[in-house]
Amino acid sequence: MSRIGKRPVELPSGVTASVSGQTVEVKGPKGTRSFTATDDVTIAVEDNAVSITPRGSSKRARQQWGMSRTMVANLVTGVTQGFKRELEIQGVGYRAQIQGNMLKLNLGYSHDVNFEVPQGVTVTTPKQTEIVVEGIDQQQVGQVAANIREWRGPEPYKGKGIRYKGEFIFRKEGKKK
């Protein structure tokens, strides 16, 4: 039995959930999100909570049970608190600034990198060396942060580049004479 799937997803005050077929729609103070589950699970809203149960004892049904419960829990978290990824920029002359809908990155290339921020995600730069990506969709927030990090990933010799806040970069020793 799935330990995750057994627990129902509690709906905080101000959040409503509705089920139509296999689609769950969650509305909250930050917006509306929906998730369509596979036919292997049954979704029900009862007593201010969303419960998910498998439709059989097959391996796929048990796999989808825990995953569907986690997806619904992420919808609830997204419309109440939202998701956030923080990035740090390290390196001499490396900096970032936001101009309208464009994130302008100076990463040691011969040109500035202009990264267009997609809809549904907000990007802020509290300092020139910090980037904060926020939104209600966890997958989209993580993907935008990964796309920004991809422009100059952290390198192991000097540690320069864009890294997630708190990320440890294994440092290598340089050449010896």
Q: Is residue 12 part of a domain?
A: yes
pLDDT-based confidence at residue 98 (cuts at 50, 70, 90): very high
150: part of which helix (H) or strand (E)? Answer: helix 138-150
User: Is this structure's pTM higher than 0.85?
Assistant: yes
Q: Residues 87, 75: one domain?
A: no
User: What is the number of helices (H) and of strands (E) in the chain?
Assistant: 3, 13
Residue 35 identity (one-letter amino acid):
F
Indicate if 76 and 122 belong to the same structural domain. no
18 and 42 co-located in one domain: yes
Q: 3-state DSSP call for residue 116? A: strand
Q: How many domains does the chain have?
A: 2
Task: Tell the burial category of 85 from Cβ atoms under 10 Å away from its Cβ (0-12, 13-18, 19+).
Answer: buried
Residue 156 lies in a domain: yes
Q: Which domain holds residue 148?
A: 83-164
* Contact between residue 107 and residue 153 where contact means Cβ atoms under 8 Å apart: no
Per-residue pLDDT reduced to its tens digit, 49-68: 999 999 988 999 988 999 99
Q: Percent of the chain scored above 90 by pLDDT?
A: 84
pLDDT in tens, 17-55: 999 999 999 999 999 999 999 999 999 998 899 999 999
Residues 34 and 67 in one domain: yes
Q: Select from 29, 51, 80 the last residue of a domain.
A: 80
Shared-domain flag, residues 57 and 104: no
**Residue at which a domain ends, from 80, 111, 142:** 80
According to DSSP, the β-strands at 83-90 and 95-99 are: unpaired
For the cut 80, the answer to whether the pLDDT of residue 1 exceeds it is no
Backbone angles phi, psi at 36, to 5 degrees: -105, 115
Q: Do 30 and 92 fall into the same domain?
A: no
Same domain, 67 and 123: no
